[in-house]
Amino acid sequence: MARVRRWVVTAAAVGLSSAAIHAQVPPREQQIAGAVLAAPEDRRDGAWVYGYEADGSFALLREGSNDMICLADDPRAEKLSVACYHKSLEPFMARGRELRAQGITDHGELTLRRNADVDAGKLEMPEQPATLYVLSGSGFDAASGTVADPYLRWVVYTPYATAESTGLSLNPQAPGAPWIMFPGTPGAHIMIVPPRPEKKP
């Protein structure tokens, strides 16, 4: 997949020493195993996977053979969060990573900047709906390949879609019901957020 770009985020960009990052970064195969769990099971083996090198740089860990791109868990984060998305979303996602590396972490500002880039023709968005899968949890057991307290949600990007063009509400009408967020903008997307499972005592 020649159009997959290798955006790099260094430890210096986030104010962490290479020694601190080195101590935290899991082995490459462990990162890959955790990252692909966000994808549908039949898309995991062929997914492209990005994660972290020992020096803290963000890089391609595994080349893939299908249209799915997965991101490994950030070793600096307290809880697990991995994601997979259709390759047509890569320019949009990569731009978000680039802006965060520049110190822009406010979600509203990130949204405004990426939308402006799309409207200016600097950033491509998919012509068809494209899905992002986000899996979070309290941890990852590499030995068993399982996520503790797993929670999966879906985001279907539909650039410039509106409530009128989709028939969707602007807010969830029932637990787990789909709704549209940022309607009429380049980043318009359908949110599917199921109720969180109750934690076992």
Confirm if 168 and 178 have CB atoms less than 8 A apart: yes
Q: What are phi and psi of 139, to 5 degrees?
A: 175, 170
% of residues, the chain, pLDDT over 70: 87
What CA–CA distance (Å, rounded) separates 69 from 49? 6
Confirm if 63 and 84 have CB atoms less than 8 A apart: no
Report helix, strand or coil for 59.
strand
Q: What is the pLDDT, as a whole number, of residue 116?
A: 94
pTM: 0.85
- Average pLDDT over the chain, rounded to an integer: 88
Q: Is the pLDDT of residue 16 over 50?
A: no
Q: How does DSSP classify residue 28?
A: H
pLDDT digits (tens, 9 = 90+) for 112-161: 999 999 999 999 999 999 999 999 999 999 888 899 999 999 999 999 99
Q: How does DSSP classify residue 6?
A: -
Q: What is the pLDDT, as a whole number, of residue 143?
A: 86
Q: Is the pLDDT of residue 109 over 70?
A: yes
